[in-house]
Structure 1
Amino acid sequence: MPSATPPDKLPDDDALLRRLRLLLRVVDCGGVGEAAREIGISQPAVSSQIKRLESDLGVSLFRRSGRRLTLSDQGAALVPVLRRGLGELSMTLNAVRDIARSRAAPLRFGFSAPQIALDAAEVFRKADPRTRLELRAANSTDLFAALDSYDLDIIMIGLPAPRAPYHCQLYQRQYMTVLVPVGHALAGHRAITLAELATEPIVLREPGSYTRALLIEAFEAAGLAPRIAFEVATREAVTEAVRRGFGLGPVLDREAPVSPDLACIPLDECRIVGDDYLACHASALHYGPVSRFLAANRHDELQARAAAAR
């Protein structure tokens, strides 16, 4: 059992960091054996390093019951702090490499709407061709989880308002529209009301989708209930389900596909607004690729470019 009092002298930084990262791997994998298999070393070696970490810190990180490990109260308190601290360290090291290697470090960019996010990625690539982009698509819930675990540097996400404690920069504003098969009775309408939409079967994204949350909130505010016929995981699946007659498909206007067999009709009476933000940790603003990505995609400059193009 480790001493209750932390030792005066900790091991060298590299050894301690390796053990701290190993602790997170054990937690994320769900056990010592699983972590050992993922890393490719023996289970006794992992167990030995965890015990040495407990000795280094002077705390018991796990409760041991036979071969079963569960985090102790101290371990459970340490893990989120450790995850945040190692993420900040990783961000700092990336910033140092960015300077030392002349912009060689990559930018990890996550998004839920590729049609929009790839526009931002293209703007950045033209402004900063030497920085490599790593792209990941996910829903809104998973994007914040990846940002919090420092698996992503910056994300594009729909939000009703900037979310603390993240740095959020407005990218664009969208409005809700409805995908309708061209043969449908509503396809010729200039606009569709929420009351009309409530009488039709609709195809929605899965829970966790920002578009879905906006629409459900609008229905509830109007005292209406949607007829959800089908739930799908992607925008492409919404389009295909509407095309095949499963229902109408509420989508944000910039995400609506251009298709000869589908009409895109605005919602009337209720202008459901969706704001897309670029979000990152405040500490990431010191990381060159993140600051350059934000600078290349400032909302006011994008608006000015669009106006000039018209």
Structure 2
Amino acid sequence: MRLTQLRSFHAVASTGSFTAAAESLHVSQPTVTTQVGQLEDLYKVELFYRAGRRVVLTEMGQRLLHLSRQIFSLEAEAKQLLHESGELRSGHLRVAAVGPAQVTTVLATFLKRYPGIKVSVTTGNSQDVLDRLLDYSADVGVLAQVAPDRRFVSVPYSDHPVVIFCSSEHRFAKRRRIRIAELAGERLILRENGSTTRRAIEAALKDADVVPGEVMEIGSREIIREAVAQNLGVSAVSEVEFVPGPGLHAVSLADVQVRTYVHIACLTERQDMQIVRAFFEIVGREA
């Protein structure tokens, strides 16, 4: 197998088409098609299902993509090490975060210190963040909770109280604080089960022996805000993530401490990567 063949496969798998892959590699489309075909012929495997201009990874293709991500991620690290001679004048830091609010401050400090670094941020729940670290599509993760796992190293960064927010037409809208017992019978609009905020508020309700009403599960923060604004129920969110807006009102919980925690994590095997180490150093100062 030649590295150019694997590179062509990786480009097609990442972009979703042979045309886009050729453009990203600055070669002709027939070259990419030939190299991928040679790879399939050499090992008697099918890496893509071809349907017109669309290509879909086969199961074998998905497994190979997982490995090629690791290979080219390590290649990028080697190039950065050799070209930059220990100085972060350029590069790309990929951050996976549970929400933009948790990472904004530390990113601002990082970019001020390393203005030549390109930063991209993707969001999801805590499990999504860990999955991105594991498949090498993110360098560092900003998440609410990291279970003991030797594959990861993490440091605490910050913690924030959880607030309840409701429609401006809701009975809580004229209040600044409520007791957790007042959530009894209330319809809750919450994120999916992977959400740490959901786990925190549900644990607090259970400890207080409070039974809420129906739980409406919605995977999008934006749709949750809209549903709450329409007075379909109330929701819980980390205080730092609540964005005031028309038709919304936030209240704090007066008699219980419900908090979410922010941790910075990376793969153990990548903790000494220059750009990752630099980010953790900024986190240490900010924390």
The TM-score with structure 1 as length reference comes to 0.69
Stretch of structure 1 that moved more, 20-29 or 219-228: 219-228
Aligned to 2:267: 281
Q: Distance in 2 between matches of 1:289 and 1:115?
A: 21
Q: Indicate whether 1:166 and 2:148 are aligned.
A: no
Which of 12, 18, 40 is 1:36 aligned to? 18
Deviations 1:187-210 (A, max 9, x none): 5364431x4324112232355433
1:104 alignment partner AA? S
How far 1:267 moved relative to its partner?
6.4
Count matched residues.
275
Aligned position for 2:9:
23
For residues 74 and 178 of structure 2, the distance between their equivalents in structure 1, rounded to whole angstroms, comes to 48
Could you give the per-residue CA deviations for residues 112-156 of structure 1, whole angstroms, max 9, x where no partner exists? Answer: 322221111122233x14342423242124434443343332221
8 Å CA contact retained: 2:12, 2:20: no
Q: Distance in 1 between matches of 2:81 and 2:189?
A: 43
Shift of 1:64: 9.7
> Which AA in structure 2 matches 1:276?
V
**1:295 corresponds to:** 281
Cα 1:192–1:70 change in 2 (3 A) is: same
Q: What CA deviation, in whole Å up to 9, does each residue of 1:65-94 have, x standing for no partner?
A: 99998455xx77655334323323323333
Alignment check: 8 A CA contact 1:230 1:246 kept: no
Alpha-carbon distance between aligned partners in 2 of 1:66 and 1:259, rounded to the nearest angstrom: 47
Q: Which residue of 2 aligns with 1:4?
A: none
Q: Is 1:252–2:238 an aligned residue pair?
A: yes
Aligned-residue Cα RMSD (Å) equals 3.8
3-state SS of 2:276 partner: helix
Q: Distance in 1 between matches of 2:9 and 2:108?
A: 38
Per the alignment, residue 188 of structure 1 pairs with 175
Unaligned runs of 5+ in 2: none
Q: Return closer, same or farther for 1:28/1:218 CA change in 2, 3 Å cut-off.
A: farther
Partner amino acid, structure 2, of 1:37: T
Contact 2:163 2:251 in 1 (8 A): yes
Q: Give the Cα separation in 2 of the matches to 1:27 and 1:102.
A: 29
Unaligned 5+ runs, structure 1: 1-9, 11-15, 304-310
Give the aligned partner of residue 214 of structure 2: 227
CA pair 78-152 structure 1, distance change in 2 beyond 3 A: closer
Whether 2:81 is the aligned partner of 1:99: answer no
CA, structure 1 residues 177+263, in 2 after alignment: closer, same or farther (shift >3 Å)?
closer
Deviation at 1:162, TM superposition (A): 5.1
Amino acid at match of 1:62: E
2:186 is the counterpart of 1:200: yes
1:103 Cα deviation from its structure 2 partner: 1.8
TM-score by length of 2: 0.74
Residues 58-207 of structure 1 mapped to structure 2, 5 A cutoff: 59-62=43-46, 70-71=58-59, 78-99=64-85, 103-126=89-112, 128-140=113-125, 141-159=127-145, 161=147, 163-181=149-167, 184-186=170-172, 187-188=174-175, 190-193=177-180, 195-206=181-192
